Structure 1
Amino acid sequence: MINGAWPLRPLGELFEIGAGKTMSVAARTGDDKTPFLRTSNVLWDEIDLTAVDEMAIPAHERQEKLLAPGDLLVCEGGEIGRAAIWNGEVKTMSFQNHLHRLRSIADNVEPRFYVYFLQSGFTQLGIFEGAGNKTTIPNLSRNRLAALDVPHPAIDEQQDIVCALARVREAIKIHDRCLASAQDLKRARMRTLFTRGLRDEPQKETEIGPVPKSWDVAAIGDVARNTQYGLSVRGQESGAYPILRMNCQEDGAVHYRNLQFVDLDSETYEVFRLKPGDLLFNRTNSIELVGRMAIVEDDRPAVFASYLVRLTVDQERCLPPFLNYFMNWPATQDEIKKLASRAVGQANINASKLRTVLFPLPPTVDEQREIIAVLDAIDSKIGLHKRKRAVLDELFKSLLHKLMTGEIRVGDLDLSVLDFSKVAEVAA
């Protein structure tokens, strides 16, 4: 499966493989602690420094356990083989014993090429199946890692492959950053829109905090025409009608994906058939997921499962998208979760509690429509970045596979479309 033109060498002939520091009571409680990386910090071709632990390392061991820029880190456990390069993001960093540190011992080695090869080998090609020890917790021992046969093309080819794949990865990161910025903008705009509106009018203090003076504070029950629990039937792989479940909700929208189906008589179908403008409220699940809402936007045939509540509202008073946006505002979600009754691993908010939720209600649907338009525009930008990011992710996977198998060569590629200035312009 690997490019047949490349010679193979054991990984241990190309890299010195070092062991990390084992966490112990002394390491946990000692003084003069050093930050260290766990397997959770090492993603594919990325070091995540969001949460970094510390341990005390004796002075005589410390130098040996520190990372240097260019070190290749490989996960021994967890998702075995997952690898990334330490680029010296902070001055002092060590690593735990569940990570292997590979430091090149030859001049003709580009460490990041081996990150990409390991990613392809473990996630695409299946050439390292069985590399982990068969223990209770699968792991990749030092000896097994050193014995892995890996390709060793000329250094120029290694560097060209790294450059090509890194260009796609950088384009992905640009869209990730722009997506995060757009999501931050949406949260900030929601706070402004739901507390100050668009008319720059004076505010008044209410049970839910400040709102524009002309607005009301209503309970969902005041505008609800109906609240209805879904069907208590088990979905199947085929059937007459798709049944929407919790996994069909995301970011306030209904998605017809990973569907299950049910067979229903026509009368039951009509009772539970979803229509445009229906709001689906997730009434039970983990506390993180309970309370989410999504809006049905098209008229394709579908029904809904029992752990969802269908809410229909009086659209002369309240437009469904307006209420949907408010219900998915993070500040609202925090408050809704306080209504949940809780059991082990489960939270529940019934339809009666849903009807008591308070929300700010502009006096006219025209004002609601203007607020919806602002948030729709931001959602369009978020959706664009998600779609482009997904396309680039598929491009990376395809390119990784074809380069490592020799199906294509770097010289065959034209990645001018990934010029960073153009990507940044599209992403803005």
Structure 2
Amino acid sequence: MQAMLEQTSGDLEIDRSDWELVKFGDVAIQQKGTVDRENTDLTRYVKGEHMYSEDLHLREWGELKDEYLGPAFIRKFEEGDILYGSRRTYLRKVVVAPFDGITSNTTFVVKANEKRIDKRLLPFVMLSEGFSLHSIQNSKGSVNPYVNWKDLSGYEFLLPPLSKQKDILDLLQGIDLSIQADIELRASLGRRKTSFFNSAIYTPVDSLGEFGRKKSNFPVHKLGELATRFQYGISESLENSGDIPVLRMNNLQNGVLDINDLKFVAENYNNLDDFILNQGDILFNRTNSYELVGKTCIFNEEKRFSFASYLIRIVTDKSKLLPEYLNFYMNSPIGLSKIRKYRTPGVSQSNINANNLKRLLIPTPDLEFQKHLMSQVFRIEFAENSVNTKVCEGKALLLKLVNQVF
């Protein structure tokens, strides 16, 4: 990857003298095949949330036998088809299907017109800034904007002749392959980190117990016995700018804090000082979708931040429980499964209240063991973060080159 970064750090020199101005509809064919779900051999489906922004690779999907799907899930796709999210197109969701399956009628299923374009090149066109802006600008509606195929098919761009498309593909696919290798390495390090933690805390057993088929090697306490404070955040209406940034549920991502999208509250908010976070505070997402409720992260920022009402601040008794240990446990598969036993379903949201959170069972080694264990976990995490930096650099490079070409 480093060699690619150096070789492609500047602008590409491209001779477009024999390139042709085409419309998207000239090179892309919308597929409208439908499926009777009661009489099909297909077993997998893809929802919008299974597709990641600016990622051509499908990493999640569902099994038809496991979940009720609404009547919109009738659209058939085949391996190699392109799936494009036509709702909220600013999310830039484009994936290449790795198998045959079903999706909703709000996801466009696209095949390449292979007389005009190599089918492997079309997904990269759909990642380009020009295509995305056209899709966004032609979207209709405000709450859940959508684009029509007719409007999308009118997008114009310069396309190289088939004889020259392979050279471009070799460059883009080479970078993409390198990114995928780093993503797999990152995932491997994540699995190693979890395995290391589990092997230190649990012993496998044959019978089912509090932690599945694992037994804690240490005394088990309720979280309420290990923490000194459980506090709900502020319920004030938030602004796009202001004095104090307020963390919300979207700022909790995979156990870490993401402060790229913030709302604010005025400095004169009543009792604001009581809602200012301290380093080492644990933030728990008490209300979210059924799949996402229970997200947790640790706060370690130096600036003044507050937190919104859908979050609970947990302050640990640091003589008994390291915040770092608690954060890792609550984000681990075993910890999450125990947390989500307490979720109560709502119309569109699930909830876990503070009283139930206090009942969460936690294996509790002595403080020195926690410190030693977390120092080893952090060593693996450091390597994981280094690989993640490479992934981010690779993705940025890929998009840069896509936009230079198209």
Question: Do both proteins adopt the same fold according to a TM-score greater than 0.5, normalized to the shorter chain?
Answer: yes
Alignment partner of 2:149 out of 140, 148, 154: 140
Q: Is the 8 A contact 2:238 2:265 kept in 1?
A: yes
Q: Is the 8 A contact 2:255 2:331 kept in 1?
A: yes
Cα offset for 1:337? Answer: 1.4
Query: Secondary structure of 1:316's partner?
Result: coil
Aligned letter for 2:245? P
Identify if the C-alpha distance between structure 1 residues 298 and 9 changes in structure 2 by more than 3 Å, giving closer, same or farther. closer
Structure 1 residues 263-278: aligned runs within 5 Å? 263-265=266-268, 268-278=271-281
Query: Secondary structure of 2:260's partner?
Result: coil
Q: Determine the structure 2 residue equivalent to 1:8.
A: 20
TM-score with structure 2 setting the length:
0.73
Alignment partner of 2:194 out of 187, 209, 219: 187
Identify if the C-alpha distance between structure 1 residues 333 and 128 changes in structure 2 by more than 3 Å, giving closer, same or farther. closer
Query: Secondary structure of 1:264's partner?
Result: coil
Q: Is the 8 A contact 1:195 1:212 kept in 2?
A: yes
Query: Secondary structure of 2:271's partner?
Result: helix
Aligned letter for 1:22? G
Distance in structure 1 (CA, Å) of the matches to 2:47 and 2:359: 45
Alignment partner of 1:356 out of 337, 359, 375: 359
Identify if the C-alpha distance between structure 1 residues 7 and 217 changes in structure 2 by more than 3 Å, giving closer, same or farther. closer
Q: How many residues align?
A: 371
Alignment partner of 2:114 out of 104, 120, 125: 104
Q: Determine the structure 2 residue equivalent to 1:376.
A: 378
Alignment partner of 2:33 out of 3, 18, 22: 22
Alignment partner of 2:334 out of 331, 336, 343: 331
Distance in structure 2 (CA, Å) of the matches to 1:361 and 1:386: 30
Q: Is the 8 A contact 2:242 2:266 kept in 1?
A: yes
- % of aligned pairs identical? 23
Aligned letter for 2:398? F
Q: Determine the structure 2 residue equivalent to 1:126.
A: 134
Q: Deviations over 1:103-126 (max 9, x none)?
A: 5347xx644344433443753563
Q: Is the 8 A contact 1:230 1:310 kept in 2?
A: yes
Structure 1 residues 10-409: aligned runs within 5 Å? 10=22, 22-25=33-36, 29=39, 33=41, 46=56, 48=58, 99-105=109-115, 110-120=118-128, 123-124=131-132, 126=134, 138-140=147-149, 151-155=158-162, 157-196=164-203, 207-208=210-211, 210-211=214-215, 215-265=218-268, 268-362=271-365, 364-404=366-406
Aligned letter for 1:184? R
Identify if the C-alpha distance between structure 1 residues 7 and 179 changes in structure 2 by more than 3 Å, giving closer, same or farther. same
Identify if the C-alpha distance between structure 1 residues 84 and 195 changes in structure 2 by more than 3 Å, giving closer, same or farther. closer
Distance in structure 2 (CA, Å) of the matches to 1:128 and 1:225: 48
Aligned letter for 2:134? G
Gap regions ≥5 residues in structure 2: 1-13, 65-75
> After alignment, is 247-256 or 271-280 more displaced?
247-256
Gap regions ≥5 residues in structure 1: 55-64, 405-428
Distance in structure 2 (CA, Å) of the matches to 1:383 and 1:301: 25
Q: Is the 8 A contact 2:285 2:296 kept in 1?
A: yes
Two-structure CA RMSD over aligned residues (Å) = 4.5
Cα offset for 1:399? Answer: 1.2
Cα offset for 1:307? Answer: 1.7
> After alignment, is 235-244 or 97-106 more displaced?
97-106
Q: Is the 8 A contact 1:341 1:347 kept in 2?
A: yes
Query: Secondary structure of 1:356's partner?
Result: coil
Identify if the C-alpha distance between structure 1 residues 103 and 67 changes in structure 2 by more than 3 Å, giving closer, same or farther. farther
Cα offset for 1:12? Answer: 10
